[in-house]
A and B are shown apart, each in its own frame.
Chain A
Amino acid sequence: MINMHGTMTRLPRHLKQAVAVCCFGFALSGCSPSEHPMAQDGLLYCAEGNPESFNPQLVTSGTTLDMTAAQLYDRLIEYDAEAQDFVAGLAHDWHVSDDGLVYQFSLRDDVQFHTTPYFTPNRPLTSEDVLFSFSRWFDREHPYHFVSGRGYPFFTSSGVPSLIESIDAPTSDTLVIRLKQPDSSFLANLASDFAIVLSAEYGEHLLAEGTPELIDQYPVGTGPFKFAGFRKDVYVRYYRNDEYWRSVPLMKQLVFRITQSDHKRMLMLLTGDCDISPYPPARDVDWLKQQAAIDVQQTTSPNTAFWAFNTTREPFDDPLVRQALAHAIDRDSLLRAVYFGHAVRADSILPDSSWAHAPQPDAYTYDPERARRLLAEAGYPNGFSMSIWALPVQRAYNPNARLMAERIQSDLARVGIQAQIVTYEWSTFRRRLAEGEHDSVLIGWSADHADPDNFFRPLLSCAAKESGANRALWCDPMFDELLNAAIRSTNQSVRSHFYRQAQEYLAVEIPLVPIAHSIRFQAVRNDLQGTALSPFGGVQLRGIYRTLPQLPESEESQP
């Protein structure tokens, strides 16, 4: 070995060079800026979960609504939150009879359904398509009523199917709906993200093929984008609908990247892996606002986070126990820990922006002493053990349910109640929840439309218990009667009176404890224009475009 020293320094130079070339070649080729020829007209939206279906009629989850409703489909009418009025959609005109029982819609005649590799439409939209779509959830005899086997939770729980007497399509551009009784929230329900229009022709085509279930997996609608592919946990891909009846979207492609972790989504926004990221982590919102490349948008969307008790189980069937639990938790500290100040305390299920809002702060004050007394009165002086289900995804109303559950757990321990926290993947979580396997659950509701009814019937009515959307599994005929009285009238002060009574009744019965009304955030890369959060329903992505990159300054300064 020793006698080799002289030559040794010479030889390994080759090796060294080889090593250097390997290292640098690899690193350098990665250094070029990531220029995508398609990036200019493609939009990447980082979604927080997988869609459960591509048909919003079948779901109530905001994740699915964001990805489907306003992208693939259109509705007869829409609600304009700024003007606080209904505006035309597929129906250019509509008329309500004086007794409030007959609704007549006149449809546009220039609306085409999507042409996709799996279906080519032969005719434009007619009233037959609307009849087909509405009958799907309204008429149990309809060939598609039981397809996909999920039910229609929004419609069933807001009682719309039992309200409708008949739907007719007298001519190809008129649709007539007759109601059994007047309902002041009916138009609002038709303007919600759930009342979308499917293609009757596609439906017949699939029936003839013997594969009706594909209607919800390979969607055909009239919306600004058309379906191009879905890979679970990876992406949902849409292409723009070049025949869209409104102005055609500027982005050729829209891809939802599925990323559950809010922290990961934020990082992906910073690296340019996404253009839009909903629900950034609450603790990072202020930091994100300072980033030059990012705009943080917000809306005070009417929503409520609540803690619902399974009232069909002991001991939660006893209102005294539910009152005790309401007094056992410190909601103000929850607001600080979970929302970082981006929310207000909820003293009613109805958000504070609603005209029917009647807060009941006394019913939900933090008073552990009183909670213990109530527990003793109910026969549980030594407490009991229970489960708290924490929703696994971030929602506008609750950015971190797991953390909230941990806080509640420690509050409950102080009054002698042991709580275990339970959570599953989102679709499993919803399935088990609908089956009523929980003791209590931290979840919430975001408004689909501006009518106060949207916070009562879909959440707490007996019909909602049937459809599985009533997280408290609470059914009280007296409460249902109050709600029915409220919707039968169109006079706001009469309705307001009934809704006040309903809220007072809830403050005594406490099937759920309202926790917070929060601000919904969305972080967007700042070269995007036309992004805005709407206070109601899912996101709207059709108007988005990218500003052209600015020319380098050097070109101007040169002589």
Chain B
Amino acid sequence: MSRYLLRQLSLLLVTLWLLTLLAFSLGHWFSGDFITNTSGIFPEDIRFAETAEARAAEAGIVNQYTAYLGHLFRGDWGLSLLDGEPVFEQIALRFGATLEIALIAFVIAIVLGIPLGVLAALYFRKAVDHTILTISLSGYSIPVFWFAQIAILIIAIQWGLVPIAGQINPLYEITPRSGSIILDILLEQPEHMTEALHSAFLHMILPVCILAIMPMMLIIRLMRNSMLDVLSQNYITSGYAKGLSIARVLWNHALPNAMQHVMRQIGALISLLITNTMIIEVIFSWPGLGSWLVRSIYERDYPVIQGGLLVISAVILLITIALNIFHAWRYPQVRKDLYGAN
């Protein structure tokens, strides 16, 4: 296990290093001045000379890269070219907002997707199975922005059930601290706490549900297939033959083994989820990383593009590696396979 851990961690470090190299090179590849592209300070600015010095503008590419790493670790990621806001602070604040809906959507997808997948497998080729499969297939094929538009038109406009923009009714004064609205309300302890939480909850329903749909459909299909595989194994039949209850067979034997295949796919699911989160943020004016990055690309706000790219790729990378490690720790035979392959 430790050998595997070491290998995964070194893979993580090398990839992260390559990412910083890419982000650094972007500063040179973008049109315009390298110092402005990475620091967000225009040549007219009085701080420019000082910044150029700190970022080793004249000192060759290796020194520039070292200086860049130094700034990166100090949390000095430059200023936005558009509004002069420090990129690192903005990322920290907006990342909380993005993480909030992505995580909740992911939990919903798991909590609903796994039972539905199991259900479909148990009713293999029965009406229940067909219904679940049809829904999951259509749910998976409909693009997320289209879902969002339909949901806005029917649920919000026609029925008037939920709001469609932002994290909370802005009449509640909540200071953004973590970016996640629920955490911020709990930290703020406003006068109308319950109502504020209720408002935040209403604002979250549509984006979160729409985000949850696609990963949920995928999980249903993965779970169903993997469950079908497991249920046809001999050890399941022998479990029943021993007189174990169905619940016991499913819970202790079938589910953990079926999960193994699903776990392997979750990494891919997460990157899909993050991409969809960006689209949803733009549609629902959610003040997260996605809407901000999309705008920065429109406006060629280079420091923001660099920072955003670094954070999003690093997050996906970290999750993938963490899942790999978890997978190997939880399922010993995977580990053995890995060593066997070497």
Tell which of B4-12, B49-57, B116-124, B306-314 binds the partner. B116-124
On whether the beta carbons of A38 and B115 are closer than 8 Å, the reply is no
Q: Which residues of B contact A35 (CB under 8 A)?
A: 195
Residue of B nearest to A239 (CB): B173
Q: How far is the CA of A79 from the CA of B199 in the complex (A)?
A: 41
Taken residue by residue from 218 to 238, chain B's Cβ proximity to chain A (1 for < 8 Å, 0 otherwise) reads as 000000000000011000010
How close is B155's CB to chain A, nearest CB, in angstroms?
9
B240/A39 in contact, CB under 8 A: no
Q: Does B1 contact A (CB under 8 A)?
A: no
Say if the beta carbon of B161 comes within 8 Å of chain A. yes
| Interface-facing stretch out of B134-142, B163-171, B267-275 | B163-171
* Contact pattern, B 106-119, Cβ under 8 Å of A = 1, otherwise 0: 00100110011011
Separation of A259 and B163 alpha carbons in the complex (Å)? 14
Q: Pick the contact of B115 from A3, A15, A30, A229 — CB < 8 Å?
A: A15
Q: Known contacts A12-B123, A30-B162, A272-B160; is A39 also within 8 Å of B82 by CB?
A: no
Q: Are A234 and B116 in contact (CB under 8 A)?
A: no
Q: Which of A256-274 contact B (CB under 8 A)?
A: 257, 259, 264, 267-268, 270-273
Q: Once the chains bind, are B119 and A424 in contact (CB under 8 Å)?
A: no
Determine the residue in chain A with the shortest Cβ distance to B158: A270
A425 touches B295 (CB 8 A): yes
Is A23 an interface residue, CB under 8 A from the partner? yes
**In the complex, A546 has a CB within 8 A of chain B:** no
Query: A1-B231, A257-B170, A270-B157 are known contacts. Are A22 and B164 too (CB-CB below 8 A)?
Result: no
Q: Which residues of B contact A232 (CB under 8 A)?
A: 83, 85
B163: contacting residue among A235, A272, A428, CB under 8 A: A272
- Nearest A residue to B212, CB-CB: A26
Contact yes or no, A273 B122, CB < 8 A = no
Docked Cα-Cα span, A427 to B163, in Å, equals: 29
Question: What's the least CB distance linking A267 to chain B, in Å?
Answer: 6
Binary interface encoding of chain B residues 282-297 relative to chain A, with 1 for a CB under 8 A from any of its CBs, else 0: 0001010001100100
Chain A minimum-CB-distance residue to B291:
A233
Chain B residues near A234 (CB-CB < 8 A) = 166, 170, 285, 287
Q: Which residues of B contact A1 (CB under 8 A)?
A: 231-232, 237
A541–chain B nearest beta-carbon distance, Å? 15
Q: A237 contacts which of B122, B157, B173 (Cβ < 8 Å)?
A: B173
Please judge, given known A-B contacts A23-B112, A30-B162, A272-B163, whether A37 and B195 are in contact too, CB under 8 Å. yes
Kindly report which residue of chain B lies nearest to residue A425, judged by CB atoms: B299
Is the beta-carbon distance between A34 and B171 smaller than 8 angstroms? no
Q: Assess whether A255 is in contact with B170, with CB atoms less than 8 Å apart.
A: yes
A424 in contact with B118 (CB, 8 Å): no
Listed residue (B160, B162, B209, B285) with the most chain A CB atoms within 10 angstroms of its CB: B285
Task: Say whether A259 contacts B165, CB under 8 Å.
Answer: yes
Q: Using A36-B199, A267-B152 as known contacts, say yes or no to A4 and B287 having CB atoms under 8 A apart.
A: no
B47 within 8 A of partner (CB): no
By beta carbon, the residue of chain B nearest A257 is: B170
Residues of A contacting B: mostly: mixed
Decide yes or no: A233 and B195 within 8 Å by CB, A29-B201, A39-B169 being known contacts.
no
Using Cβ atoms and an 8 Å threshold, which residues of chain A touch B112?
A: 19, 22-23
Interface residues in B294-340 by Cβ distance below 8 A to A read 295, 298-299
Question: Is A267 a contact partner of B164 (Cβ separation < 8 A)?
Answer: yes
A39 touches B171 (CB 8 A): yes
- Chain A residues near B122 (CB-CB < 8 A): 8, 11-12
In whole angstroms, what is the CA distance A231 to B167 when docked?
13
- Residues in chain A near residue B172, CB distance under 8 A: 36, 38
Do A273 and B165 form a contact, CB below 8 Å, given A15-B118, A267-B152?
Answer: yes
The reply to whether A30 and B161 form a contact with Cβ atoms under 8 Å apart is yes
B317 CB, nearest partner CB in chain A, Å: 28
Instruction: Say whether A257 contacts B166, CB under 8 Å.
Output: yes
Chain A contact residue count (CB 8 A cutoff): 49
Shortest Cβ gap from B287 to chain A (Å): 5
| CB–CB A267/B157 < 8 A | yes
Give the complex CA separation of A231 and B171 in angstroms: 13
Chain A residues near B201 (CB, 8 Å)? 29-30
A8 to B240, CA, bound (A): 13
Report the minimum CB–CB distance from A433 to chain B (whole Å): 15
Distance in angstroms between the alpha carbons of A259 and B115 in the assembled complex: 40
Contacts of A83 in B (CB 8 A): none
Query: In the complex, what distance in Å separates the CA atom of A229 from the CA atom of B172?
Result: 12
Residues of B within 8 A of A15 (CB): 115, 118-119
Q: How far is the CB of A59 from chain B (nearest CB, A)?
A: 15
Assembled-state Cα–Cα distance A385/B237 (Å): 78
In the complex with contacts A12-B122, A425-B298, A22-B165 CB distance below 8 A: no
Which A residues from 2 to 17 make CB contacts under 8 A with B? 3-4, 7-8, 11-12, 15-16
Give complex CA distance A15, B122 in Å.
11
Judge whether A478 is part of the interface by a CB distance below 8 angstroms: no
B247 within 8 A of A: yes
Chain B residues near A237 (CB-CB < 8 A): 170, 173
- How far apart are the CA atoms of A229 and B298 in the complex, in Å? 27
- A30 & B199 in contact (Cβ 8 Å cutoff): no
- A235-B170, A425-B298 in contact; A19/B119 too (CB < 8 A)? yes
B176 within 8 A of A: yes
- Tell me the minimal C-beta distance from B161 to chain A in angstroms: 6
Query: Nearest B residue to A7 by beta-carbon distance?
Result: B246
In the assembled complex, B186 has its CB within 8 A of some CB on chain A: no
Q: With a CB–CB cut-off of 8 A, which chain A residues contact B165?
A: 257, 259, 264, 268, 273
| Residue from B152, B160, B171 within 8 A of A36 (CB atoms) | B171
* Cβ-defined contact, B240 with A4, below 8 A: yes
- Interchain CB contact (< 8 A) of A271 among B157, B170, B209, B246: B157
B161 contacts A12, C-beta separation under 8 Å:
no
Would you call B205 an interface residue if the criterion is a C-beta within 8 Å of the partner chain's C-beta atoms? yes
In the complex with contacts A19-B112, A36-B171, A264-B285 CB distance below 8 A? yes
Cα distance A218–B92 in the bound complex, in angstroms: 24
The minimal Cβ–Cβ distance linking A253 to chain B, given in whole angstroms, is: 6
Contact B157 A16 (CB under 8 A): no
A44 lies within 8 A of chain B by Cβ: yes
Cα distance, A15 to B250, chains bound together (Å): 12
Q: Does B187 contact A (CB under 8 A)?
A: no
The reply on A42 being an interface residue by CB < 8 A is yes
**Does B242 count as interface, using CB distance less than 8 angstroms?**
no
Are B231 and A268 interface neighbours, CB within 8 A? no
| Known contacts A257-B170, A273-B165; A36 and B299 CB within 8 A of each other | no
Distance in angstroms between the alpha carbons of A542 and B228 in the assembled complex = 66
* Residue from the list A12, A23, A271 in contact with B160, Cβ < 8 A: A271
Cα distance A255–B250 when bound, in Å? 54
**B192 interfacial contact with A, CB 8 Å:** yes
- A30-B205 contact given A11-B246, A12-B119, CB 8 Å threshold: yes
Evaluate contact between A22 and B111: CB separation under 8 angstroms: yes
Instruction: Please determine whether B195 and A19 come into contact, CB atoms closer than 8 angstroms.
Output: no
Considering only residues 201-222 of chain B, those with a C-beta below 8 Å from chain A are 201-202, 205, 209
Kindly list chain A residues whose C-beta atoms are within 8 Å of the C-beta of B291: 233
* Binary contact readout A359-394 vs B (1 if CB under 8 angstroms, 0 otherwise): 000000000000000000000000000000000000
Shortest 6 CB-CB distances between A and B: which pairs? Answer: A42-B171, A255-B170, A235-B170, A38-B171, A30-B205, A273-B163
7 A-B contacts, Cβ less than 8 Å apart? A1-B232, A34-B163, A44-B169, A44-B171, A272-B163, A273-B164, A425-B299
Known: A34-B163, A38-B171. 12 other contacts (CB 8 A): A3-B240, A12-B122, A30-B161, A30-B162, A44-B170, A229-B173, A234-B170, A253-B171, A255-B170, A257-B165, A257-B170, A271-B156
